A and B are shown apart, each in its own frame.
Chain A
Amino acid sequence: MLFFLYKRLQSAVVVLFAFSFVVFYLVQLPPGDYADAWAAARAAAGDRVTPDEVENIRQTYGLDRPFLVQYVSWIGSVLTGDLGYSFEFQKPVSHVLSERLPLTLAISFGALFVVYAVGIPLGIYSAVRRQSVVDYSATFIGYIGLATPNFLLALILVYFGQRWFGLSAGGVLSPEFLGEPWTTAKVVDFLTHLIIPVLVLGTAGTAAQVRTMRSTMLDELNRPYVTSARATGLPMRRAVLKYPTRVALIPIVATIGWELTSVISGAPIVGIVLSLPDMGPVFLQSLVNQDMPLAGSILLIYYLLVVIGTLISDLLLFALDPRIRQSVESAR
């Protein structure tokens, strides 16, 4: 088991390096660099920028060095725990992110929770009570969820949330609570603000999980082992929950990593649309401004979350499927 985890981590680290390289390469790919972006922004704001100033910035941040040198120095400092210095924010990347990471985590894992807490029971129910009202509505909502791009869903929810429930959209706190100490009212306000982003991020995933769970359950329900379990006197409900459910959970659990990937994928765009103070808007900004240390760090964090998700999924698979346990042990 430990050996297996070790192997998994090993390959994750290799991929992480490859990924960081690709990321670094892509971010610096467009002609120009942060210095140019800075100059353009200043010029647009009406300031006069002298070439000396631009050159100065370029040297301060080491942008004039060859690409590989820049990469090595960046990745080297990342390894020592230093994420670097954001050009744009004029403060260490870790500071910029520490304000925003918790929210990103809250929203992502909240969404992940919704995906499974709703998706699995609904999938089982739809499979067992096929062609019931619940099955049809789950299928219908599922289709809508799959078909609507996250940002559009966010926009629509904002529109109706505001019209019907007076849910204030955008941000994570109502203006009256800004700068206030954390009271119960403030926490409630905070949580109500999370509803829309979590729903938006979770809908597509929930839809996908309901579909997977429903179809694997339907397959499994017809297997001889279910009939044979029933032949021992197990009532239908218990037989379903004990035997096929566990088998049907295997593909679900095996893809937790992917699900987290897609939640993470959706996170920035939702953050941007709903103007949340999470990593999303900062990420977009850093890409546009070629703020390499910031963009790179955010991408690495996103990927790290995925790695964690994959590990969780492996651990659960281990607990769930003895075949995997055995194949891993025999591979030692």
Chain B
Amino acid sequence: MTAIDMNPTELSRLQLARRVFHGNRLASISLKLFALLIALAVFAEFIAPYSPQERNRAYSDGAPMGITFVNEEGRLQPWPLVPARITSRDPVTLKRVVRTDDTERWNLKFFVRGSNYELLGLFQSDLHLFGVSGDGYLHLFGTDRLGRDIFSRTLFAFRTSLSIGVAAVLTAFVLGVAIGGMAGYLRGWFDTVIMRIIEFIQSIPTLPLWLTVAAAVPRDWTAMQVYLVMTVILALIGWTTLARRVRSRVISMHTDEHVLAGKLAGCSSTRLFLRHMLPAFTGYLIVDLTLAFSTIMIAETSLSFLGLGLREPVVSLGVMLLPAQSISAIMLTPWYLIPGLFVVVVVLLLNFIGDGVRDAADPANY
């Protein structure tokens, strides 16, 4: 019969989509970086040289410390070194002063023994990716007022923020698809009620409302309870966009020819929805998800930053930013802001990934 040309036509839609996605360099790299960040968060105990609550009394409010390859004699070395710090007291003000000692170097070592931890709740270990030998110390991002290592804390905080985001986004996703799908499918009064609720939620200024809700969380709740409530609050805001999207797609697809054909082929409503409708807009849902994820990360950080979200001893990116509230703190210890840059990076990566998925979901790009 008629010849069918081979090549790209042999691939499935998913393979094509993947090809388009990876054709977008920025998106492809972002996805890899994001995967790396997630790995950092998951293996935080191993990668972080210190535990989140460990204090270094000799180096509180300390600036980020660099790594050098030049030894104390001014010669280049193949292994990394850390310029040593000396703590002394100012004879007049009696304040503690830390300065770099150019005559001494601490050796940076890999796979060193440090504090004990339990990785993934599976096995115990005291092995850390890197650390400094002897009684030296290394604080890549500096330390906070209590002398806690900001680098290590950022990793743990990132994990908390990420897990809140994932939990909230998944909840929002399930709510959005289920409610939106039902509203689109059933129409009638159910649809009307749902749409009114969505309009209501979308028309109110979200942050002030979050503030109100967050402020309503009793002070004496445990960190875990606050964590759960925060997830729910964030998810409650996030589902509306998804629900709207799903609903309008379901309604418009009702009369699409391939959906009608599926109906004639004897598919049940569920099968029709899952096989013939959902795949067509999954790509767009993923884009929405990445965006919802960024909104939720930003919201979590903002709330915790104001002291209305998570609280110590839980470490989240927002909690870490809390001491940066005062202007004097920013001027004196600008490294307090580093955890905030993590938020920016993650949201950026998610946006790039979202753009890539959007392209990949658009059949016009194959």
Contact = CB atoms under 8 A, between A and B. Distances in A.
A309 to B, nearest CB: 10
Interface residues of B, number: 41
Q: Which 8 pairs across A and B sit closest by C-beta, in order of nearness?
A: A147-B347, A265-B207, A287-B215, A29-B216, A152-B340, A265-B205, A147-B348, A264-B205
A143 interface: yes
B294 A150 contact: no
Interface of B: 199-200, 202-209, 211-213, 215-219, 294, 298, 301-302, 305-306, 308, 321, 324-325, 327, 330-331, 334, 337, 340, 343-345, 347-348, 351-352
B348 A149 contact: no
Given A148-B347, A152-B344, A288-B215, 8 more contacts: A23-B212, A149-B344, A152-B343, A159-B331, A261-B203, A269-B306, A284-B308, A299-B212
B348 A144 contact: yes
Contacts, number: 123
A159 B328 CA distance: 10
**Chain B interface SS verdict (over half):** helix
B203 to A, nearest CB: 6
Contact of B218 (A30, A152, A310): A30
Contact of A146 (B199, B206, B305, B351): B351
Contacts of B352: 143
Among A155, A257, A264, residue most surrounded by chain B Cβ atoms (within 10 Å): A155
10 contacts: A147-B294, A147-B348, A149-B340, A152-B343, A162-B331, A262-B205, A265-B206, A268-B208, A283-B208, A283-B211
A266 B207 contact: yes
Contacts of A158: 327, 330
Among A30, A170, A310, residue most surrounded by chain B Cβ atoms (within 10 Å): A30
B7 to A, nearest CB: 27
Interface of A: 15, 18-19, 23, 26-27, 29-31, 143-144, 146-152, 155-156, 158-159, 162, 169-170, 257-258, 261-262, 264-266, 268-269, 272-273, 275, 283-284, 287-288, 295, 298-299, 302-303, 306, 310
Contacts of B340: 149, 152, 155
A287 B210 CA distance: 11
Contact of B337 (A152, A258, A273): A152
Contacts of A306: 203-205
B212 A151 contact: no
Contacts of A261: 202-206
A123 to B, nearest CB: 16
Contacts of A258: 202
Contacts of B219: 30
